[in-house]
Amino acid sequence: MDNTVLIEKTTAFVQQTLRDAEGGHDWWHINRVWHNAKRIAESEQADGLIVELAALLHDIADAKFHNGDEEIGPKTAGDFLGAQNVDEAIIHHVQQIIRHISFKAGFERKVFHSIELDIVQDADRLDAIGAIGIARAFNYGGFKGRELYNPDVKPNLNMTKEEYKNSSAPTINHFYEKLLLLKDKMNTETGKKLAQQRHDFMLAYLEQFYSEC
C-alpha cells in the first residue's frame, strides 16, 4: 500500500475510534502529537513512516481508560496495521513505541530504544506541558473528579509506578509529579528547545495560581 494512502487510512481509523474520547486524549491530541512528531523528525535521521504511524496510534487504546490494560493499545494498533498488510517489522516497531512512550514506562528499566521512539515520545511530552498541557491536566482531573488544589495534600515526588497509576491527588500536584519533570526528559535537541518555552509558561502559571489562592 502507498504510504500516503496508509496514513490517510490510519488517520480515519483514529478519528473514528476516538470520536467519544476524553478531551485530553481525543483526536485533537493525536493531531497535535502527529504534527509535532513530523516537525521534530525533520532534524533527525528517522523512518518517517514509523514516526507517523506511531504518533497517530500511540493513544488508540490508552491503558488508563481500559482498566489498566497496557497491552490493549499495542494489540489494537497491531490488528489495524495487520489488516492493512503492513510489514511485520513495521508493526512490531510501532507496537514497541506504544508500549514504551508513556511517562509511567519510565518507572521501569528501559528495554527498547529507537530514534523513532525518541521523536514520538518528545512530541507526546510537548502536548503534556505548556498551555495545552495545563488545559489537558485540569480536563482529565475533572473527568476523574479530582480536586483542583488542596494545600494539605503534598505532591509525592517518589512514587512507584503503581502509586502513579492509582493516584487521585489534586490536579495541581500533577505539575510537580510529572509536568515540570518533562523538560529534562526530552530526547531530541528540537524537543528540548520547544519544551523550554512551555516549561517557563507553566512556572508563570503556577506563580499566578498561587497568588490568586
Q: What is the pLDDT of residues 36-90, one digit of tens each?
A: 999 999 999 999 999 999 999 999 977 777 777 689 999 999 999 999 999 999 9
| N residues, the chain | 213
Summarize the confidence of residues 115-135 as an average pLDDT. 97
Q: For residues 116 and 51, is the Cβ–Cβ distance under 8 A?
A: yes
* Structural domains present in the chain: 3-212 (1.10.3210.50)
pTM for the whole structure: 0.90
Give the pLDDT confidence of 172-209 residue by residue, as tens digits: 999 999 999 999 999 999 999 999 999 999 999 999 99
Given a cut of 80, is residue 103 above it in pLDDT? no
In the numeric block, which cell numbers belong to residue 44? 533527525
**Predicted local distance difference test score (pLDDT) of residue 62:** 79
Q: Which three cell numbers stand for residue 121?
A: 515520545
pLDDT in tens, 135-155: 999 999 999 899 999 999 999
191/158: higher pLDDT: 191
